[in-house]
Amino acid sequence: MEYIVHILILSSIYAILALGLNLVIGYTGLLSITHAAFFGIGAYTTAILSVDYHMNFFLTILVGIILNIIIALVIGFILQKFNEDYFALGSFGFNIIVWSIFLNWDSLTQGPLGIPGILRPSIGSFSFTDNTSFLILSLVLLLLTFLISQFIVNSSFGRVLKAIREDEKAIEVFGYNILSYKLAIFAIGAGLASIAGSLFAVYITFIDPSSFALNESIFILSTVILGGLANLKGSLVGTFFLIILPEVLRFVGFPSSIAAEMRLLTYGLLLILLMLYRPQGFMGEYKL
């Protein structure tokens, strides 16, 4: 049972990441490969503030969101000077820069040694020390993230984002400030990633730079594409599928000498087949 709860907690955390990224890519058409950087900033903010300054977990979430939004606005403004593929390459570079900071700023992040001893959150005398209660907290924050994302998508703001995705030049003719909309959704996605990072830090109780490398951004992007661009429920489906699938493959009777390699091979082949025969993802409404 504990194993299932663990998988559900991780799925909830990554589903929050996928929802935020889907707003940026699926609904606005901005191919961003930097979500792991914002994920890491949120995690390190919570870790540093809670371990070094004993700040309440929920306050660290707020600080992380604000910090990520500020950074996203600055980086987003710079990246908006590039178009399409160059935007993706720029976001790729930002992810590497942030990861390098995590790895080399020893006085703040403790470098490759990471930050241990991160305490689980508490409300008054109640502490989320056991995984079942932590799962409830994760699901509550996931539901809140989903409702916020759904509100954005169904609002007039969300309709403008879709119009930007379909034909940026046409919507600009009607007097909309495209840059402000792109910056706003990029910052919102970063803020949601910060929530996931904070949850991840207190759940694992230890973080180091390896958790926020470029391959993490690619994994988050994969969950969004597989679940379906421009479909919030698809983000949830894609996340649960990609997290649960490797765990299911653990129980397939591969020879012990090559079990790890065969699981990776099977995992990769399944993803390739899905992209070949279902390129829009499980529930996608838009293709890159």
**Model confidence at 270, in pLDDT bands (50, 70, 90)?**
confident
Which of residues 113 and 124 earns the better pLDDT score? 113
- Domain coordinates of the chain in residue numbers? 2-213
Task: Return d(Cα 170, Cα 178) in angstroms, integer.
Answer: 11
Task: Give the DSSP per-residue string, 12-81.
Answer: HHHHHHHHHHHHHHTTT------HHHHHHHHHHHHHHHHHHH---HHHHHHHHHHHHHHHHHHHHHHHTT
Which token pair is 91?
């976001």
| pLDDT category of residue 245 using cuts at 50, 70 and 90 | confident
Q: Which two tokens stand for residue 143?
A: 């539901």
CA 1 – CA 239 distance, rounded (Å): 20
> Which amino acid is it at 174?
F
**What is the C-alpha separation between 64 and 194, in angstroms, rounded?**
6
DSSP 212: G
State residue 237's pLDDT score. Answer: 93
Max mean pLDDT among 77-86, 186-195, 278-287 falls in 186-195
Q: What is the mean pLDDT of the chain?
A: 91
Q: pTM, whole model, 2 decimals? A: 0.94
Positive or negative, the Cα torsion across 138, 187, 239, 147? positive
Nearest to 21 by CA among 79, 90, 72: 72
Q: Is 203 in contact with 9 (CB distance < 8 Å)?
A: yes
User: C-alpha distances in angstroms, 158 versus 155, 163, 182, 188?
Assistant: 5, 9, 11, 12
pLDDT digits (tens, 9 = 90+) for 11-61: 999 999 999 999 999 999 999 999 999 999 999 999 999 999 999 999 999
Cα–Cα distance for residue pair 91/38, rounded to 1 Å = 11
Burial of 177 from C-beta contacts in 10 A (0-12 / 13-18 / 19+): exposed
Q: Residue 197 — pLDDT band, cuts 50, 70, 90?
A: very high
CA atoms of 38 and 61, how far apart (whole Å): 13
For the record, the structure tokens of 266 come out as: 């099977």
